[in-house]
Amino acid sequence: MTRYPRRALLASPTAQAQQAAKSLADATDWVDWEEADMVVALGGDGFMLQTLHRMLERRKPPVPVFGMNLGTVGFLMNEWQLHGLNARLDMARPFKVTPLQCTITGTDGRIHVLPAINEVSLLRETRQTAKLEVTVNNRVVLPELACDGILVATPAGSTAYNFSAQGPILPLGSNLLALTPISPFRPRRWRGAILPEKARITIRAIHTEKRPVSAVADQREIRDVASVDVCIDRARELTLLFDPEHALDDRITMEQFIA
């Protein structure tokens, strides 16, 4: 008996992914993703993020996702292969990914609550440097950070934007978050912090009328932000499936040694 009898197939709108989906049309009796026990996603890392956000929006609890790379990097994906899919799914290893929850308060007082699987970032909207107050567990740790922005990254997202901003790579299962500035100007020597995942982080924009700031949760942006509260969301854990030889935790570790 197969591990996941009801399977859904989702594909990126790119020509390559759509052609692959047609090739897999007869591989099994696909069902709608809302009714599936698991999902096969064809595309790149961006499409995987979109698929994981779909899992968070499902009427039913999230189900595991097995991705096959038909994009650029494919860090969160397995290798694309046309044949042997059923056997691969039966042998696939699960990895848990815990998203962030960010509560964004706009300068107009409106509140937006969004999930983020990779990172939550605050970014300056104009040529004016952003000025931010950073609070951790109700304690102000940076009264004024002058920068292009700042981000909070999960271990799964630490190799993405966070790493490009010179942030640390966090091993999966480390129960840590990365707090990383983007082009910091003052304090000049502050290059970020590694925090326990239980930490509650609040970032408040200063002088928003002159220095407007936007907040981005993965791929969704809210402009003209007054403050953002970020915390881990254990209640909405997600599962990625990988081939046995494709160890995501090992890939994240080895990223630290790539020149």
- 163 is known to lie in a ligand binding site: yes
| 108 assigned to active site | no
Number of H helices, E strands in the chain: 5, 17
Q: Which of 45, 224, 243, 250 is catalytic?
A: 45
Phi then psi dihedrals of residue 34, to 5 deg: -70, -20
- 29 is known to lie in a ligand binding site: no
- 119 is known to lie in a ligand binding site: yes
- 164 is known to lie in a ligand binding site: yes
Length of the chain as a residue count: 259
Phi then psi dihedrals of residue 35, to 5 deg: -105, 0
- 160 is known to lie in a ligand binding site: yes
Spacing of C-alpha 158 from chain mean position: 9
- 161 is known to lie in a ligand binding site: yes
- 144 is known to lie in a ligand binding site: no
- 46 is known to lie in a ligand binding site: yes
**98-118 burial by CB neighbour count: b if 16+ within 10 A, else e?**
bbbbbebbbeeeeeeebbbbb
- 148 is known to lie in a ligand binding site: yes
**49-87 burial by CB neighbour count: b if 16+ within 10 A, else e?**
bebbbbbeeeeeebbbbbbbbbbeebbbbbebeeeebee
Spacing of C-alpha 145 from chain mean position: 24
Q: Are 205 and 213 in contact (CB under 8 A)?
A: yes
- 32 is known to lie in a ligand binding site: no
CB atoms inside a 10 Å sphere around CB 243: 16
Binding residue positions for NAD(+): 45-46, 118-119, 148, 156, 159-164
Binding residue positions: 45-46, 118-119, 148, 156, 159-164
Question: Which residues are catalytically annotated?
Answer: 45
